[in-house]
Amino acid sequence: MRLASKPVGLPAIASQDLVSQIARMLTDAVVAGRLVPGAKVAEAVIARELGVSRAPVREAGRLLESQGLLVAIPGRGFFVRTHKPADIDDLYDLRICIEKHAAILAARNLTPENRTALRRQLAVLYETADTNDPARQVEEDYRFHRLICEISGNRRLLKLFDDLASEMRIVIGLIGRLYDDPHRIAQTHGPLLVAIENGDAEQIGASVEYHLNDAWRGVAGLVRGLPAHVAADLEQDKTEPSA
């Protein structure tokens, strides 16, 4: 049985730049768990809830498809992308390689200015823990890791990190479900920052591995715990003839 299409708690929006606004709201709904992996993003339902036509909703869907957040099935519409355990393993294996090297380079390039920027971003993570805004906390978590890649000074490494952005936001959103206290997400970043400030490559590598491996285990467990029919229904939709 497929997931029912129903309102997901989206607010009314202004008429300007509808596609970008709708894309952002759908992203927030996915991150916050109001649109779960495998769920259909029904254009008519979303358009009615937002008070807009279906055209900008469809364009927002195409934009999020290009970013890897949604998948489009001919004749069926858009669905929230699902992740198999193997996908999570591949993503985190790559993240550890990228971010370990980025953190070591960032330590070498650390200045009073970018040290302050990292500390400020960690403070923002703590601040957003008090806002009851999971989507923003995901974004600030992502920005902390991206800032490390920026400070590394390796532009190709930063581009590779950005190419993983959409998948990483979904995964970071799942991390939020691992902790009863949202402050724990901020706390897990503290030792990584300390290691970068200390500048010891071995300590940095161990901190990155610990930080990401802990999240890897938790997220992989969540993915394995998703209802089996979610992935099964999506795969069935991919193989059925178009209506």
| CATH number, domain containing residue 208 | 1.20.120.530
Residues 6+ apart with CB under 8 A from 148: 99, 102, 103, 106, 118, 196
Do residue 130 and residue 215 come from a single domain? yes
Q: What is the pTM of this model?
A: 0.69
Q: What is the pLDDT of residue 243?
A: 34
Residue 130, exposed/middle/buried by CB under 10 A (0-12, 13-18, 19+)?
exposed
Do residue 97 and residue 73 come from a single domain? no
Do residue 113 and residue 125 come from a single domain? yes
Residue 6 lies in a domain: no
Do residue 179 and residue 198 come from a single domain? yes
Q: What is the pLDDT of residue 174?
A: 66
- Which segments within the chain are labelled E, that is strand? 40-41, 70-73, 77-80
Residues of the chain falling short of pLDDT 70: 1-6, 10-16, 166, 169, 172-180, 222, 225-243
Do residue 136 and residue 29 come from a single domain? no
| pLDDT tens-digit map of 14-57 | 545 889 889 888 887 887 778 877 889 989 999 999 999 999 99
Residues 6+ apart with CB under 8 A from 199: 107, 108, 110
Q: What is the pLDDT of residue 14?
A: 53
Q: What is the pLDDT of residue 168?
A: 75
Do residue 180 and residue 99 come from a single domain? yes
Do residue 171 and residue 233 come from a single domain? no
Host domain of residue 52: 18-82+226-239
Residue 11, exposed/middle/buried by CB under 10 A (0-12, 13-18, 19+)?
exposed
Q: What is the pLDDT of residue 96?
A: 94
Residue 12 lies in a domain: no
Whether 118 contacts 215, CB under 8 Å: no
Torsion of CA 193, 197, 203, 208, to 10 degrees: 30
Residue 201 lies in a domain: yes
Neighbours of 68 (CB within 10 A): 16
Q: What is the pLDDT of residue 234?
A: 41
Structural domains counted in the chain = 2
Residue 4 lies in a domain: no
